[in-house]
Amino acid sequence: MAIEPANLHEKASHMGQHVEIESIQQILNQFQHNFPLSSTPYADMAKQLGISEQQLLTLLKELKSSQVISRIGAVFKPNRIGVSTLAAMAVPQHRLIDIADIISAYPAVNHNYEREHHFNLWFVVTAENKEQLNKILKDMEQKTGIVILSLPMEKDYHIDLGFPLQLIDGGTKKKKDEN
């Protein structure tokens, strides 16, 4: 269900704003970091991009509703604000969707993925403090009957979820692979 760069391009031009795919890439790359801390951050961004504030806001809303953008906000350093852990479960294949739904229903869970391994369900649990976190993990084990492997971060060597995006090359590569 990924929005292909080509569709993104179409989306951009449908909006009648002459916003090109290059502009979307530029917006995403430039403002994954260093979002302006001014009274009017969107107007400042728009100025840098050479479009109007209203055009930018409309585009961001569009990207948000099509789920390309998850949000515009702060990424907190793990375990500085609250606590979190990476949890894993080895779920029998026939129960996977049911168990995944139970886990996703917890507001404390933000990522929940199936991965290719004997431990096939991986999710991140966050809470305000350790006791709350342990309580949630215990509750999950009781609800599912499956033991949780809890792997809290001990040290971070690198965190940067804002890596440079290559939307244009991505489109080319996809086509090549499909042939």
Partner 1 sequence: MINQRLLIAALQNGLPLVSHPYAEIARQINSTEQEVIDHIATMQQQGDIKRMGIVVRHRKLGYTANAMVVWDIADEQVDELGACFGQFDFVTLSYRRPRHLPDWPYNLFCMIHGQDREDVLTNLQLMINSCNVEHIKYSVLFSKRCFKQRGAIYINEKSIKESA
Compute CA distances 98 → 45, 109, 112, 142, whole Å. Answer: 43, 16, 13, 14
Q: What are the contacts of 48-57 at 24+ separation with CB within 8 A?
A: 49/23, 51/17, 51/19, 51/23, 55/17, 55/19, 56/27
Examine residue 50 and tell whether it contacts partner 1 (CB under 8 A): no
Examine residue 82 and tell whether it contacts partner 1 (CB under 8 A): yes
Considering only residues 80, 92, 142, 145, which one is a binding residue for partner 1 as defined by CB under 8 A?
A: 80
| Amino acid letter, 37 | L
Which residues between 16 and 45 bind partner 1 (CB under 8 A)? 27-28, 31-35, 37-43
Q: What is the largest CA-CA distance in the chain?
A: 56
Considering only residues 89, 123, 140, 144, which one is a binding residue for partner 1 as defined by CB under 8 A?
A: 123
Examine residue 142 and tell whether it contacts partner 1 (CB under 8 A): no
Which one of the spans 9-17, 117-125, 137-145 is the region binding partner 1 (CB under 8 A)?
A: 117-125
Which one of the spans 12-20, 138-146, 153-161 is the region binding partner 1 (CB under 8 A)?
A: 153-161
DSSP 77: P
Considering only residues 17, 47, 53, 134, which one is a binding residue for partner 1 as defined by CB under 8 A?
A: 53
Which one of the spans 9-17, 79-87, 137-145 is the region binding partner 1 (CB under 8 A)?
A: 79-87
Nearer to partner 1, 13 or 166 (CB): 166
Sign of the four-CA dihedral 150, 72, 9, 30:
negative
Considering only residues 14, 92, 93, 163, which one is a binding residue for partner 1 as defined by CB under 8 A?
A: 163
| Amino acid letter, 58 | T
| Amino acid letter, 30 | Q
Neighbours of 163 (CB within 10 A): 8
Which one of the spans 9-17, 138-146, 168-176 is the region binding partner 1 (CB under 8 A)?
A: 168-176
